Amino acid sequence: MQESFRPSESWLSQWPWQEATIVRLLAECYGGQGARKATEDFMASLSYQSNDGVACRGGYCVKVVESDQPEVTSLEFYSSGEDGFSSLLFGLEDFEDFLGRRAEISEVKWRELAPQKSSIK
């Protein structure tokens, strides 16, 4: 069983652009090709898939980030709405629930990323 993500206080306090802040988190999924397939299946299960490799549900989105480690598939989760942290944490719950039913991913390492400013007006 994977350990659940626990946000740090410093990450939770990063809200520099108020509602225009995009909250981000990286999941490094270990397990080689099996992990790649499992992450693809997770993304396919979401309600929206774009032509440029982004999948979304509710207020969060996910995209594959290239990794220089062949045994690792990296996913960037980010908020897509004004409720930033709660949307992103909802997405992580979806992912962790999905992982509970899959054995292909041997380990997930979470990395908190700096926020970005939304360009949507």
Which tens digit of pLDDT belongs to each residue from 12-59? 888 778 878 888 999 999 999 999 999 999 999 999 999 999 999 988
Whose CA is closest to 110, among 77, 62, 65, 81? 77
Q: What is residue 18's predicted lDDT score, i.e. its pLDDT?
A: 80
The model carries a pTM of 0.88
Q: What is residue 3's predicted lDDT score, i.e. its pLDDT?
A: 62
Segments in the chain forming alpha helices (H): 9-12, 32-45, 84-99
The predicted model gives 82-101 an average pLDDT of 86
- Residue recorded with tokens 């980030």: 65
C-alpha of 26 from chain center: 6
Q: How confident is the model at residue 1 (pLDDT cuts 50, 70, 90)?
A: very low
Strands lying side by side in the sheet with 72-79: 48-49, 54-57, 60-65, 72-79, 21-30, 107-117
For 37, residues 6+ apart whose C-beta sits below 8 A from its C-beta are 104
Least confident of 40-44, 49-53, 86-90, 117-121: 117-121
